[in-house]
Structure 1
Amino acid sequence: MPWWSWVLIWGFLVLGLLAMLVFFAWWLFRKLMTALTELEKLTALTDALDGARDEAPPERPHIALFDDPVELDRRRRHERYRRERRRAYRRELAVARGKLLVHSDPSRRMDPNA
């Protein structure tokens, strides 16, 4: 193989490497510009949220330690009663659905082809 063929081969390899590096640099530059644009949008959004947070005072949590124990017991009992009634109601609905499935009247069924 003559010496100039090696020069051509290495020349094409170096040009290919440079083309690849330029392509990846351009690709990375575009990604960086897009990321900066999104960062600007995010900064504007956080500034707006910070402004909204400063306008509304924070709500203080309710501390049950300072409440009347009788009132706390009454609320607890009421909540327990409400949960029990809800469970009983849901159970009644489930039992009624089950009875409908087991004891359905065939004469009252609708014909799907009608």
Structure 2
Amino acid sequence: MPWWSWLLIWSALTLGLLALLVWSGVRLYRKSLGALRGFEALGDQIAALNVDVSPRPEQFRPAVFTDLAALRHEVEQREAERVHRRQVRRDGRIVRGKLMRNARYVTR
């Protein structure tokens, strides 16, 4: 093969590679712009909710100087809330189970 055919082949391969890189870069740029638009829309939705998304740490209160009865009452209250949440979840599971057991299968 003459030397100019090798030059032609490698030039075509190099131009093809460059075209592929440019095309991939344009696609990546467009996708990143789309993702940014999505994040902006999400930020607008969060702002519309008017909700503070930053967690507020509880203020530190040393237990040494607190009344024992108040601490005991707080622990009992938390335990009662926990038991209530567990009961609500259990009731929901029971309802879902009854719905699944009594469901009628519809064939199309």
Aligned to 1:71: 69
After superposition, the C-alpha distances for 1:69-111 in whole angstroms (9 at most, x for unaligned) are: 14334326747xx6xxxxxxxxxxxxxxxxxxxxxxxxxxxxx
Task: Tell me the CA shift for residue 44 of structure 1.
Answer: 1.0
Correspondent of 2:40 among 38, 43, 57: 43
**Identical aligned residues as a percent:** 16
Greater Rg over alpha carbons, structure: 1
Correspondent of 2:14 among 4, 12, 17: 17
Aligned to 2:31: 34
Unpaired segments ≥5 residues, structure 2: 80-108
* Equivalenced residues, count: 75
Unpaired segments ≥5 residues, structure 1: 83-114
Task: Tell me the CA shift for residue 10 of structure 1.
Answer: 0.8
Distance change (3 Å), C-alpha of 1:42 and 1:69: same
Task: Tell me the CA shift for residue 61 of structure 1.
Answer: 4.3
CA RMSD for the aligned pairs?
Answer: 3.5
TM-score, normalising length: structure 1: 0.48
Task: Tell me the CA shift for residue 18 of structure 1.
Answer: 0.5
Task: Tell me the CA shift for residue 12 of structure 1.
Answer: 1.3
Runs of 4+ in 1 over 3 A off after TM superposition: 56-65, 76-79
